[in-house]
Structure 1
Amino acid sequence: MLGDAAVKFQVGGLRMYRQKLARFSMIAGTAVVAALGWSALASSAVADDVIRFGAPLPLTGPLAPEGLKQQQGYDIWAEQANKAGGISVGGKKYKVEIVYADYQSNTPRAVQTSEQMITQDNINFLFGPFGSGAAKAASTVSEKYKVPTIAATASSSQVYDQGYKYLFGTFTPNDTLTTPLTQIIKAQAPDVKKVAILARNDLFPLAIAQEMEKSAKANGFEVVYFEKYAIGTLDHSATLSQMKSLGPQWIFITGYINDLLLVRKQMVDQQMKAPVMTMIAGPAYQEFIDAAGQSAENVTSASWWHPAEQYDGKDIFGSTSNFVKLFKEKYKSEPDYGQASAAVSGALFQIAIERAGSLDREKVRDELAKLDIVTFFGPVKFGSNGQINSLEPPVFQIQGAKPVVLFPQAIKQGDLKLGVN
């Protein structure tokens, strides 16, 4: 059941969670510069020997859990880079500074913040804001000023269809998640025929729901229901009741952590059950599993990375296992795909800058565009549109309060189980 644990996470627990994770944050719109791994005195003494990365994030508001995860990923990369002496540029070492700004889960503010970082905070390079919607909106700014930008959490093709040169993304397109998922269900649950889809009306959640609809139909499923819910919706009871009346055997719901916890609780209240239930993207986070409790069991999902991956990387972290080890030591928890993607975004900037031998934005942009390298996150090669096209994202299911990988075969940990409580 989804009860007190979820309430604790969504209300009081979120505050504690934020305090624990956000070592550097924004207050009243003023950016905090995080100079990791060295003293404030050293920072002021060698300010010219610094590379500044802007990181607009939703550190407050409904997307704060996701924003704080991205911050963790950037922090651990910057820490490792600075422990190694910094980024080497033409034989000289530069320390990493990250300028964080809280855009309060508001996309127009994300755009404004990104422009402020470029025009006022004198950043050299930019990390995109959280999610496809904010990343797409803010990319117009970085393109305008020709600032290389890596979006760590933007998968929707609509982000990369603008013909921009300076935007790169570490998530493969949405259909790379929905296609293997539907193929698994088709092969292992042949009696499942009817699918119901409920999507948050936001760029990424809606886009992946639409890809799910395409994948389902292509694999012979009948989509009996497809509906959107508004951002900030608190009562899904009427929608769920309508969905329940159609008797779907597979329920597919998109949104973010707080959305999916709320929907899952209201499903339990209505005693909604199905042989297959998929939620994207919350179940990839241990916080979702802890808060949902028993109602998380057997929920399937997919993501762009999993700590079970086994890559030998050429980046600052090296192997996947080393990244997981360092993350556990620092944060006392296993990393998820959002944290890993943020960390590899920093590592990719580092590789491109060192290969360029310069902080010239055009030269760094060119090095990013021609990257073809294995990292702890997996093989990285950007397509002509700037979106990564070299990964095989894992499909997993919550079993025994842990994500168990079902696909790909190389890192498979278990088999699909049917039925949710």
Structure 2
Amino acid sequence: MPGTVTHQTRTTRSLAKLALSAAVAVAPALFAVQASAQGTIRFGAPLPLTGALAPEAVKQQQGYDLWAETVNAAGGIDVGGKKMKVEIVYTDYQSNTPRAVQAAEKLITQEKVDFLFSPFGSGAAKAASTVSERYGVPTIASTASSSQVYDQGYKYLFGTFTPNDTLTNPLSDIVVQKAPGVKRVAILARNDLFPLAIAQEMEKSAKQRGMNVVVFEKYAINTMDHSSALAQIKASSPHWIFATGYINDLVLLKKQMADQRIEAPVVTMIAGPAYQEFIDAAGPGAENISSASWWHPAARYKGSDIFGTTENYVKAFRARYKSDPDYAQASASVSGALFQMAIEKAGTLDKAKVRDELAAMNVMTFWGPVKFGPTGQITSLEPPVFQIQGGKTVVVHPQPIKQGDFKLGVK
């Protein structure tokens, strides 16, 4: 059907059954889209559609689908004067990084995709980038911020997230200004590439501002009981608790903090609080939790991409999904839009030429200004800092999109 990204129902049903069997461990499940006709541009998207990271995968899929549907409704991507429709091939790697690498290779070698979106998160994006680099396939990572992803000297990898310190430094500056008495910082980090990397950046940011990191604990992926680490944090009487992980991790952490009556004047969690699902799950316990992300619907950018402005993008997302977009969905959409702009500028699907257009890109989009640095990581954004107030996210930085003032929790 024109204007949509189709999914093969029969394949989806059979693979949903396979997901319950050991056979899936060898061959990742393929959701969707065989090329149905000539004149189609195929984008590969390996995602953790099942497993612990499935909530994040859903968000990425929504963002990709919205972009593809919008492009197809407008007739497709203009490639040297010829309009070509978009199809997206989704592969479920079940929240398992080695399978993400296998999925990326399958998409390139068997599904014959033209371009690739990275798997979710810094760890899987870094692992899979080796595959796309080897085959010379331009790849955009829409959820990878850690510099370790981009320090490999690769030419075909680009990312829409600025480095982790662009989140921790503004957060630390705000806390120092608002509460100069905050000196004792406790950090609890998921032992995974992005959550650990941003926790380490937080440690640097805090120490640079004269704070004392009294606890730095790591927890393993899939940890369900944080009582030991939380007991250490409670005993340290921190002024600032900084916890990292993904949405399921942080909802669980917040619940166990409440059970142990652990509080602090400042509580920061990255990256769950940007999601409405976190606010809904945490309820009143989410109040005053601070965080940062790479985009917020309060932004007011006027771009040259297919969505045009932030307001137009938010309107389109609401019409499609009946909710407001967050940074994960918006980043997926802008990743598609950047591919579209590079392809149209190149006037060809030649991978090397599209890669060169991405490398030279300097454009304004609904996501904000996009310019990739020498490693392929975006260098042009100023990420928003926000806090949950009254059951919603309120931007407290930067000034142009500020919605309210930063508030302290318990004294």
TM range (shorter): over 0.9
One-letter amino acid matched to 1:243:
I
Partner of 2:287 in structure 1? 297
Structure 2 residue 119 is the aligned partner of structure 1 residue 129: yes
Partner of 2:69 in structure 1? 79
Partner of 1:31 in structure 2? 30
Partner of 1:360 in structure 2? 350
Inter-partner Cα distance in structure 1 for 2:33 and 2:338: 19
One-letter amino acid matched to 1:73:
G
Partner of 2:193 in structure 1? 203
Give the conservation status (yes or no) of the 8 Å contact 2:66–2:333. Answer: yes
One-letter amino acid matched to 2:161:
F
Inter-partner Cα distance in structure 2 for 1:33 and 1:331: 20
Partner of 2:303 in structure 1? 313
Give the conservation status (yes or no) of the 8 Å contact 2:301–2:368. Answer: yes
Residue 23 of structure 1, CA deviation:
10
Partner of 2:384 in structure 1? 394
Structure 2 residue 349 is the aligned partner of structure 1 residue 350: no
Inter-partner Cα distance in structure 1 for 2:284 and 2:325: 22
Residue 353 of structure 1, CA deviation:
0.3
Inter-partner Cα distance in structure 1 for 2:87 and 2:113: 9
One-letter amino acid matched to 2:94:
Q
1:308-349 Cα offsets, whole Å, 9 max, x none, are 000001000000000000000100000000000000000000
Partner of 2:249 in structure 1? 259
Residue 48 of structure 1, CA deviation:
1.5
Inter-partner Cα distance in structure 1 for 2:210 and 2:397: 20
Residue 143 of structure 1, CA deviation:
0.3
Inter-partner Cα distance in structure 1 for 2:410 and 2:289: 7
One-letter amino acid matched to 1:238:
S
Partner of 1:235 in structure 2? 225
One-letter amino acid matched to 1:266:
Q
Any idea what SS the aligned residue of 1:54 has?
Answer: strand
Partner of 1:94 in structure 2? 84
Q: How does 1:22-421 map to 2 (within 5 A)?
A: 27=16, 28=18, 29-34=28-33, 44=36, 47-419=37-409
One-letter amino acid matched to 2:207:
K
Inter-partner Cα distance in structure 2 for 1:229 and 1:70: 25
Residue 33 of structure 1, CA deviation:
2.7
Q: TM-score, normalised by structure 1?
A: 0.91
Give the conservation status (yes or no) of the 8 Å contact 2:215–2:232. Answer: no
1:269-300 Cα offsets, whole Å, 9 max, x none, are 00011000000000000000000001000000
Inter-partner Cα distance in structure 1 for 2:186 and 2:254: 15
Inter-partner Cα distance in structure 2 for 1:32 and 1:95: 19
Residue 30 of structure 1, CA deviation:
3.6
Residue 32 of structure 1, CA deviation:
2.7
Inter-partner Cα distance in structure 2 for 1:312 and 1:321: 9
What is the total number of aligned residue pairs between the two structures?
391
Partner of 2:4 in structure 1? none
Give the conservation status (yes or no) of the 8 Å contact 1:33–1:97. Answer: no
Inter-partner Cα distance in structure 1 for 2:29 and 2:294: 32
Inter-partner Cα distance in structure 2 for 1:410 and 1:34: 41
Residue 420 of structure 1, CA deviation:
5.5
1:38-93 Cα offsets, whole Å, 9 max, x none, are xxxxx73xx12100000000000000000110000000000000011000001101
Give the conservation status (yes or no) of the 8 Å contact 2:372–2:379. Answer: yes
1:172-212 Cα offsets, whole Å, 9 max, x none, are 00000000000000000111111000000000000000000
Give the conservation status (yes or no) of the 8 Å contact 1:277–1:420. Answer: no
Give the conservation status (yes or no) of the 8 Å contact 1:406–1:412. Answer: yes
Give the conservation status (yes or no) of the 8 Å contact 1:297–1:420. Answer: no
One-letter amino acid matched to 2:245:
G
1:226-271 Cα offsets, whole Å, 9 max, x none, are 0100001111011101111010010000000000011111100000
One-letter amino acid matched to 1:78:
A
Give the conservation status (yes or no) of the 8 Å contact 1:405–1:414. Answer: yes
